[in-house]
Structure 1
């Protein structure tokens, strides 16, 4: 089996065409160099160098062919060594990131990616849109490494969440809605409105915001439409199907026909959290999590 030292010895002789000069270049005894070349030729079963005390060393036909392959092999080995060392420091590897739509609309995902890339250009990042419940399942079984999620009271064992962004809630309604062009709206003025809520088909969806709004206004909200995401909710609201309660970052989507309006006596805020495995083995993932939780790390680097 070939080893790196044999290849290095052969390349030195092939390039210097002189055993003494090659030995000096490698910092080894000439006898040791000759032994390495002899072992290499024995392992391969072919003569690579023409040796003659009265003539310069030359490459045989087999030696010329082997030289090109040996040179390429050492380049690959050096590259593999470099990548391995970078990976050990979290500077190379692959990270799969799941995110909810608000991770994009708030600019959180792009900000995290931009900050991370400044010092981790060799890390490949794959991003996947995914609702919070699916992200938690995907984290648990290893299909993603990090998630940008809406916080949950309970997460699978071994999954940690850290809040990384907070934003207020707004109402989304059609631009021709009776309340759209009036002054500040109070929660009680929404009592007779049909509501549209992203509920994500699980009991911990966004329905808590609607419940809180009803409590603030002293009424029981009428849930008319349940959808899978805020964009769908805003689309229905813009068409006059009802009022949606959405994060303020939804204003970043230039959606025609929709009007966003705060509720004067409703101050509920919602959060985005970074979800990750407590016992993460990948140095690259650990580096991403560390920086995402504490963005000042980039500034200190």
Structure 2
């Protein structure tokens, strides 16, 4: 393959003199290169000398087709490697919790990124915050959107997205609907629809701790894995739900969101990735999300 460039020049110029000039090497050196190539190919003659220049033999014509294809593939591979290094070609694996899906920012950031980097294939994997951390540790995803925990900045690089709040979900005709002074005590003895302790163990633990501090034993009627399920069960009259909601998250018309004094304070939603991961695709995505976040809050 090291002689292909020399062969191609002679094949296209049909003249050792013109090819040597094009390659900026001595004609004698070029002739040696072609002779070496012919010897490597089993002493196959590639050119026939003529009075003025040369012409390709049948073997030379076949080789020319392959050389053009091979060198074209090499050039394309080099371009792909360069684009990958620049962060404009490749694959990015993104995960997000339910809270991020409910934010307009996600769609806005993804659209900006697709418009700016059409050569990047995006792979999505919605999952809980704890599972995202596991997948980041095992390098199965590249970036996640999680409810931040105190130890996250020690293990991951972190960029804040915004705050969500923990609220109760009640039927729109419930006595607590519209209340601004409700407390955990108002939920004593009320059937509750809680987040799954298996899928969201940290959130479940926070709620349990808050109820314990208030001296209330929650009556957990159901554990659910998604906010929409909680909405449906509450609307059906099966209990009062507890969810994480965005600051401007709309609720279905048949339920109401009620702040409850004594529940944990606002929870920070953050973008996290492996510490020190400086892949250009990832850094381009992080910058795009942060720009969309800043534009939305301006």
SS in 2 for 1:260: strand
**2:234 is the alignment partner of 1:232:** no
Q: 2:110 aligns with which of 105, 108, 113?
A: 113
Partner of 2:47: 50
1:33-44 matches, cutoff 5 A: 33-44=30-41
**2:202 is the alignment partner of 1:204:** yes
TM-score, scaled relative to structure 2:
0.80
Q: In structure 2, what is the Cα distance between the partners aligned to 1:230 and 1:207?
A: 17
Question: Is the CA contact 1:47–1:60 (under 8 Å) kept in the aligned structure 2?
Answer: no
Give the 3 Å change call, closer, same or farther, for CA 297–194 of structure 1 in structure 2.
closer
Question: Is the CA contact 1:93–1:284 (under 8 Å) kept in the aligned structure 2?
Answer: yes
SS in 2 for 1:136: helix
Q: 1:21 aligns with which of 18, 23, 38?
A: 18
Question: Is the CA contact 1:291–1:297 (under 8 Å) kept in the aligned structure 2?
Answer: no
Q: In structure 2, what is the Cα distance between the partners aligned to 1:296 and 1:38?
A: 63
Aligned-residue offset at 1:211: 6.0
Q: In structure 2, what is the Cα distance between the partners aligned to 1:207 and 1:224?
A: 17
Q: How many residues align?
A: 291
Q: In structure 2, what is the Cα distance between the partners aligned to 1:253 and 1:7?
A: 65
Q: 1:69 aligns with which of 55, 66, 69?
A: 66
When the two chains are superposed, the root-mean-square deviation of aligned CA atoms in Å is 3.4
SS in 1 for 2:87: coil
Give the 3 Å change call, closer, same or farther, for CA 22–147 of structure 1 in structure 2.
same
Q: In structure 2, what is the Cα distance between the partners aligned to 1:72 and 1:252?
A: 56
1:1-301 matches, cutoff 5 A: 2-3=1-2, 6-47=3-44, 49-54=46-51, 56-155=53-152, 158-175=155-172, 177-179=173-175, 183-188=178-183, 190-192=186-188, 193-201=190-198, 203-206=201-204, 208=206, 221-249=218-246, 258-263=254-259, 268-280=265-277, 282-293=279-290, 295=292
Give the 3 Å change call, closer, same or farther, for CA 186–297 of structure 1 in structure 2.
closer
Question: Is the CA contact 2:16–2:53 (under 8 Å) kept in the aligned structure 1?
Answer: no
Question: Is the CA contact 1:211–1:221 (under 8 Å) kept in the aligned structure 2?
Answer: no
Q: In structure 1, what is the Cα distance between the partners aligned to 2:99 and 2:43?
A: 65
Q: In structure 2, what is the Cα distance between the partners aligned to 1:235 and 1:160?
A: 37
Q: What are the superposed Cα offsets for residues 184-225 of structure 1, whole Å, 9 maximum, x if unpaired?
A: 45314843532222245254125535765998x996654332
Q: What are the superposed Cα offsets for residues 250-278 of structure 1, whole Å, 9 maximum, x if unpaired?
A: 987886x7423343868943321112111
Aligned-residue offset at 1:295: 4.4
Question: Is the CA contact 1:187–1:266 (under 8 Å) kept in the aligned structure 2?
Answer: no
Question: Is the CA contact 1:97–1:128 (under 8 Å) kept in the aligned structure 2?
Answer: yes
Question: Is the CA contact 1:187–1:213 (under 8 Å) kept in the aligned structure 2?
Answer: no
Gaps of 5+ in 1: none
Give the 3 Å change call, closer, same or farther, for CA 46–101 of structure 1 in structure 2.
farther
TM-score, scaled relative to structure 1:
0.80
